[in-house]
């Protein structure tokens, strides 16, 4: 089937209500993308390359605004010069609709780092934790005491309906990589809608996707499991939809080129396509819901999906003004900024809302840094959280990160004068330490 041209950009904009026209952005911009008239300073979307050089020198913070826009409808310089206020974000449907207008024939989702988390593309069978021995002794099997009740296996082999049909309502690329050089090495944010059918989910749960067709031996494909990247009340609040963060699998564990069946199927979906889904799965990797409970999130790559879900739920609660959330602390690793899903939206979250620590293992000209390195650096802040019964730790990402994370936690506990074995065992018992690795 043909895909339509669907290019979504993350458009860089300046808030005219806050900007004081000091000219530092224009003076700093290395590519001449910033311009002004007597009224406004504006960014030319055709020139801006998202290098971020203009962001730190801005005295007001007005420079740090981003809107997801279909490229063909990006706000022009002339239009921005007339603004008194910054327009809001387009609602997802409007974005999807405009993206799917048949304006061209080649199709390529080209979104930048917008609100998409990287789904954990595990190519394993359904509940897929081939648990590593080390983390197993510390990974809780029970949820936090204040977790909401999770529905599981509403659709699956033992349920009345084996699968539920979901409709794709959005599919955008969320990493900077893949944009250049036509590479397939990318990560997509995919929104699935369940219409009128029940599919209640919680942050931290996952779902199974069954790719269509038969495998090499002539059997139907088995399901692949992906963590949900959206909060309980929907990717769009109040709608019966979920989002997934899915990275294309282009090689197997040994580095041989293999195109993952499910991840490529998902990443190539068009809006309007149907998908067979199982689940939800997961009863323990769930977030605490009591006031002033703290959440420490440690993840790599598409392991950010459940972290995005929890963060977004807390963000919505905070915006409601009716919930007193505790600390959020995030340790997030990727090879580079360009490969880090949600880099843009993440960096614009307020600092008093979430304490973000990013580790890049392949950033040019910089030593390799992993999440566990950052955790050690933040030992002074993590030690009291380890000891605090209201703090819950979540680890999600590649299996390879487990040992490093446990070593770091152990080091921090020891530094605070505690034996990790007893701290870790207690955390497991109390549902305060959760692993989801693949």
Partner 1 sequence: MSSINYSEKIPNNVNLSEDRTLQRALEGWQPNFIDWWDEIGPEGSTNSEVYLRTAVSVDPQGWAQFGHVKMRDYRWGIFLNPGESDRKIHFGDHKGENAWNDVPGEYRANLRRIIVTQGDTEPASVEQQRHLGLTAPSMYDLRNLYQINVEEGRHLWAMVYLLHKHFGRDGREEAEALLERRSGDADNPRILGAFNEATPDWLSFFMFTYFTDRDGKFQLCALAESAFDPLARTTKFMLTEEAHHMFVGESGVSRVIQRTCQVMNELKTDDPAKLRAAGVIDLPTIQRYLNFHFSVTIDLFGADESSNAATFYSSGLKGRYEEGKRVDDHQLRGQTYTVLENKGGQLVEKQVPMLNALNEVLRDDYIKDSIAGVERWNKVIEKNGIPFRLKTPHKAFHRNIGSLAGLKVSPDGKVVTDSEWNFMKDQWLATDADRAYVAGLMGRVVDAGKFANWIAPPVMGINRQAVDFDYVRFN
Residues marked active site are found at 226-227, 396, 436, 438
Residue 39 as a binder of partner 1 (CB under 8 A): the answer is: yes
Q: Residue 78 or residue 160: which is nearer to partner 1 going by CB?
A: 78
Verify binding: residue 365, partner 1, rule CB under 8 A.
no
User: Whole-angstrom distance between the N-terminal and C-terminal Cα of the chain?
Assistant: 32
Query: Cα–Cα distance between 321 and 90 in angstroms, integer?
Result: 24
Contact criterion met (CB below 8 Å) for 221 and 211? yes
Question: Least Å distance between CB 356 and partner 1?
Answer: 11
- 280 burial level (CB within 10 Å; 0-12, 13-18, 19+): buried
Alpha helices per DSSP H over 326-389? 343-347, 371-377, 379-387
What pairing do the DSSP bridges indicate for beta strands 164-173 and 274-281?
A: antiparallel
| Span of 50-58, 132-140, 219-227, 232-240 interacting with partner 1 by CB under 8 A | 50-58
> Which of 18/250 has CB closer to partner 1?
18
What are residue 242's DSSP bridge partners? 192
CB-wise, 37 or 161, nearer to partner 1? Answer: 37
Q: Does 54 bind partner 1 (CB under 8 A)?
A: yes
CB 265 within 8 A of CB 197: no
Nearest-approach distance from CB 21 to partner 1, in angstroms? 6
Q: Is 84 in the site for partner 1 (CB under 8 A)?
A: yes
Residue closer to partner 1 by CB (options 125, 380) is: 380
Three-state SS across 96-127? HHHHHCCCCCCCCCCCCCCCCCCCCCCCCCCC
CA–CA separation, 275 and 266 (whole Å): 9
The reply to whether 53 sits near partner 1 by the rule CB under 8 A is yes
Does residue number 91 form part of the binding site for partner 1 (CB under 8 A)?
no
Q: Is residue 334 within 8 Å of 308, Cβ to Cβ?
A: no
Interface with partner 1 in residues 14-33 (CB under 8 A): 17-18, 20-24, 27-28
Is residue 57 near partner 1 by the rule CB under 8 A?
Answer: yes
Query: What are the residues whose beta carbons fall under 8 Å from the beta carbon of 89, sequence distance 6 or more?
Result: 67, 68
Rule CB under 8 A: say whether 352 interacts with partner 1.
yes
Contact between 116 and partner 1 by CB under 8 A: the answer reads no
Q: Which of residues 324-343 bind partner 1 (CB under 8 A)?
A: none
Between residues 54 and 328, which has the closer beta carbon with respect to partner 1? 54
Q: How far is the CB of 360 from partner 1 (least distance, A)?
A: 14
- Find, among 103, 9, 83, the residue nearest to 344 by Cα: 9
Residue closer to partner 1 by CB (options 130, 380) is 380
Examine residue 61 and tell whether it contacts partner 1 (CB under 8 A): yes
Give residues in contact with partner 1 (CB under 8 A).
17-18, 20-24, 27-28, 38-39, 52-61, 84, 350-352
């Amino acid at each position: 089937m043909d895909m339509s041209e669907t290019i979504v950009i993350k458009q860089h904009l300046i808030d005219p209500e806050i900007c004081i026209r000091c000219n530092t952005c224009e003076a700093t911009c290395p590519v001449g993308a910033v311009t002004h008239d007597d009224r406004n300073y504006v960014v030319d979307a055709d020139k801006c390359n998202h290098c971020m050089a203009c962001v730190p020198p801005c005295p007001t913070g007005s420079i740090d605004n981003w809107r997801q826009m279909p490229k063909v409808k990006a706000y022009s310089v002339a239009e921005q010069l007339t603004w008194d206020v910054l327009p809001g974000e387009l609602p997802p449907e409007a974005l999807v609709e405009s993206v799917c207008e048949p304006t061209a024939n080649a199709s390529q989702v080209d979104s930048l780092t917008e609100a998409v988390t990287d789904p954990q593309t595990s190519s394993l069978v359904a509940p897929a934790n081939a648990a590593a021995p080390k983390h197993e002794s510390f990974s809780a099997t029970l949820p936090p005491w204040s977790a909401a009740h999770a529905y599981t296996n509403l659709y699956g082999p033992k349920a009345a309906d084996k699968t539920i049909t979901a409709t794709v309502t959005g599919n955008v690329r969320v990493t900077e990589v893949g944009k250049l050089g036509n590479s397939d090495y990318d990560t997509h944010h995919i929104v699935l809608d369940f219409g009128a059918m029940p599919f209640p989910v919680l942050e931290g749960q996952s779902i199974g996707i069954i790719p269509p067709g038969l495998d090499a031996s002539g059997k139907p494909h088995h399901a692949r499991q992906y963590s949900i990247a959206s909060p309980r009340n929907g990717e769009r609040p109040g709608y019966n939809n979920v989002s997934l963060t899915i990275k294309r699998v282009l090689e197997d564990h040994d580095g041989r080129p293999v195109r993952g069946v499910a991840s490529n199927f998902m990443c190539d979906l068009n809006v309007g396509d149907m998908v067979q889904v199982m689940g939800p799965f997961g009863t323990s990797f769930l977030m605490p819901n009591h006031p002033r409970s703290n959440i420490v999130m440690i993840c790599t790559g598409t392991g950010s999906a459940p972290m995005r879900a929890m963060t977004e739920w807390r963000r919505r609660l905070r915006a409601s003004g009716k919930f007193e959330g505790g600390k959020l602390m995030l340790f997030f690793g990727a090879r580079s900024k360009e490969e880090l899903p949600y880099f843009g939206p993440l960096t614009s979250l307020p600092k008093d809302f979430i304490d973000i620590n990013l580790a890049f293992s392949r950033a040019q000209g910089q030593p390799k840094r992993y999440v566990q390195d950052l955790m050690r650096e933040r030992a002074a802040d993590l030690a009291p959280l380890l000891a605090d019964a209201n703090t819950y730790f979540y680890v999600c990402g590649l299996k390879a990160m487990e040992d490093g994370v446990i070593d770091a936690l152990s080091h921090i506990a020891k530094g605070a004068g505690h034996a990790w074995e007893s701290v870790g065992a207690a955390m497991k018992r109390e549902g305060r330490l959760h692993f989801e690795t693949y």
